[in-house]
A and B are shown apart, each in its own frame.
Chain A
Amino acid sequence: MKVLVTVKEVAEADDDFAIEGTDIAASDLEYDLNEWDDYAVEAAVQLAEAGVADEVVTVTVGPERAEETIRMALAKGADRAVRVWDDAFEEGFADVGAKVSTIEAVLEAEEPDLVLGGVQAADTGFGATGVALAERIGFEHAAVVNQLDVDADAGVAHVHRELEGGVEELTDVDLPAVLTVQTGLNEPRYASLRGIRQAQRKEIDAKDLSDLGLTAEDVESALEITSMYEPESESDAEIIEGDAGEAAGRLAEVLRDKGVSA
């Protein structure tokens, strides 16, 4: 079977950052592979190693800068990558529908049996693309999967979905399916030196919208970010000053006051 993994390069804000307009200043952002997607890549590579998956293909909606992140997924064992970008995405904030339209067009050519992606992107935190994609392409789905056992012969994925409060739901999902992967599903590997060398020779197929038969209208967003600001701190904490020793001394007083002792 063929497994497709959605991989996003996410931005993380530095501890000190400035807001310019409706986004954080580019100089205060660091880019990395989305943590949740790292687990999805690992799950796909494990399926390949177990002989369940014949091919693992990553798909990314992101600018050229994202190729460094994509190479990381290739170094961990994905076979090849598709990257889609277009001026149309520079215009504003792509909503879930815009991303789904883009990935749908890639899937039409790839025809995977299983699509894996992270539960959410660390930066935008929508947590919705996977399930919306499944609806669009007529796949089954399961959100927030933290245990996965694919029975390709039976055409079923046995999954655990991580509900709130320490409860897991056991669900059988018919393939083809889109599964969104929770952190902790597996132990994502570090790329080996050999993997990193091999990744340099793997294909990253860069496409724009017209390559996919789409136009800017197909990825028009229904959402517009109109402001961004730092939330007002509601803190009324007593911040204990001084060097580590002084601060620890004052905190020890507080704790003893509260009855803490061995």
Chain B
Amino acid sequence: MSDVLVVAEHRRGELRDISYEAVTAGRELADARDGELGVAVIGGEVDAFAEDLNREGVDAIYTVDDGEEFDHNAYQAAIAALLDRTDAGTVVTPNSVNGLDYAPAVAEDRGLPLVTDAIGFEYDGGLTVTREMYGSKVETTVDVDGDGHVLTVRGGEWPPAEGVGDATVESVEIDLPESGARVTGFEEVGGGDVDIADADVLVSVGRGIEEEENLELVEGLADALGATLSASRPIVDNGWLPKNRQVGQSGKVVTPDVYIAVGISGAVQHVAGMKGSDTIVAINTDPNAPIFDIADYGIVGDLFEVVPALVDEFA
């Protein structure tokens, strides 16, 4: 029961980076529990993925060959079978859109406690997980009952596993259920006139702009600076700007020379899409807004005063 099973994630023929981060988290937990680390590769190019995942610290890799696309029923059945035939008591998965499509079902099916979106943990006879609440305003520590758990880990919190390991690779045959959820295709969103990922300077607008009419203000700033206009999720959800302008986990990842965040609080999903920018400027009324944690320059103030003043500077 002390062993840990990490579930890798892939999409359209590629392993996703978070798989390697989950391996690091899984190894950490296995070490603390004095257990072994197994990695499950379910569906897709399982042999090639198994080779890539054979990193330092991985003891065993289990491949379950099943179709190309993600199917949560296949994942659930495969993980259940692996928990039955190995000594793994704890399952670690990415806290991703797909991870959250099967991990809660695995926990429910196996009667295991579930903690999602972990950003850290300790194990000292029992599991204590660190996670955020209230929109990243606070962190909490959560004690989890029992020996077995399902844990989903946030991307970017653990370094990716590196090196080459000497894991055993085992192909596992599993009777998979006929699935009531069938992937029929994919759509790329966010095409169109502008690719914000190409811009050197981005003026990015968030919820603080309050009303659609006020967008003129940041459009004026973008013009004055020769910058491209982008946005955080709420602006796109409201239909004020098209999806191809959205920066963040579900939008575009951008790395401009200068990123100016106007009225953006800096939720983790947004930060995931822009933290690689060379210089980050934040203008926000809330001095505790998480955007200031990653900013190089900040103005704590009212964007409706600061932005017009900045436009004047460049007029």
Please list the residues of chain A having a beta carbon within 8 angstroms of any beta carbon in chain B: 11-13, 15, 17, 19, 22, 24, 93, 95-97, 100, 119, 122-132, 134-136, 140-144, 160-174, 177, 183-184, 187, 222-231, 233-240, 244-245, 247-249, 251-252, 254-255, 258-262
In the complex, the answer to whether B226 meets A128 with C-beta atoms within 8 Å is no
Give the total of B residues in contact with A, Cβ under 8 Å: 95
Provided the pairs A12-B135, A172-B182, A235-B292 are in contact, do residues A222 and B146 lie with their beta carbons within 8 angstroms?
A: yes
Minimal Cβ-Cβ distance residue in A for B112: A222
In the complex, the answer to whether B128 meets A260 with C-beta atoms within 8 Å is no
In the complex, the answer to whether B233 meets A123 with C-beta atoms within 8 Å is no
Minimal Cβ-Cβ distance residue in A for B260: A255
- Interfacial chain B residues near A235, Cβ < 8 Å: 292-295, 298
A260 to B222, CA, bound (A): 11
Provided the pairs A229-B139, A255-B258, A258-B258 are in contact, do residues A169 and B105 lie with their beta carbons within 8 angstroms?
A: no
- Interfacial chain A residues near B135, Cβ < 8 Å: 12-13, 122-123, 125
- Interfacial chain B residues near A236, Cβ < 8 Å: 296
Within 8 A of A (CB), among B100-127: 100-105, 107-109, 113-117
In the complex, the answer to whether A223 meets B139 with C-beta atoms within 8 Å is no
- Interfacial chain A residues near B301, Cβ < 8 Å: 244, 247
Within 8 A of A (CB), among B247-292: 249-253, 257-258, 278-279, 281-282, 286, 288, 292
> Looking at the complex, which of B44-52, B57-65, B236-244 is the stretch in contact with chain A?
B236-244
A131 to B114, CA, bound (A): 12
Provided the pairs A171-B181, A245-B309 are in contact, do residues A11 and B134 lie with their beta carbons within 8 angstroms?
A: yes
Contact of A167 among B187, B278, B299 (CB under 8 A): B187
Contact of A237 among B105, B139, B298 (CB under 8 A): B298
Provided the pairs A226-B141, A247-B299, A254-B297 are in contact, do residues A262 and B105 lie with their beta carbons within 8 angstroms?
A: no
- Interfacial chain B residues near A168, Cβ < 8 Å: 186-187, 189
- Interfacial chain A residues near B302, Cβ < 8 Å: 244
Min distance, Cβ A227 to any Cβ of chain B, angstroms:
5
A12 to B265, CA, bound (A): 14
Closest 4 CB pairs of A and B: A248-B309, A222-B113, A244-B305, A252-B313
A168 to B184, CA, bound (A): 11
A169 to B109, CA, bound (A): 25
- Interfacial chain B residues near A255, Cβ < 8 Å: 225, 258, 281
- Interfacial chain B residues near A160, Cβ < 8 Å: 187
Min distance, Cβ B176 to any Cβ of chain A, angstroms:
15
Minimal Cβ-Cβ distance residue in B for A262: B226
In the complex, the answer to whether A164 meets B183 with C-beta atoms within 8 Å is no
In the complex, the answer to whether A226 meets B180 with C-beta atoms within 8 Å is no
A222 to B113, CA, bound (A): 6
A24 to B113, CA, bound (A): 24
Contact of A162 among B97, B114, B133 (CB under 8 A): B97
A240 to B104, CA, bound (A): 45
- Interfacial chain A residues near B282, Cβ < 8 Å: 237
A15 to B239, CA, bound (A): 27
Most chain A Cβ neighbours within 10 Å, of B105, B115, B143, B292: B105
A13 to B103, CA, bound (A): 29
Contact of B143 among A119, A223, A238 (CB under 8 A): A223
Min distance, Cβ A97 to any Cβ of chain B, angstroms:
7
A229 to B141, CA, bound (A): 9
B163 lies within 8 A of chain A by Cβ: no
Minimal Cβ-Cβ distance residue in B for A252: B313
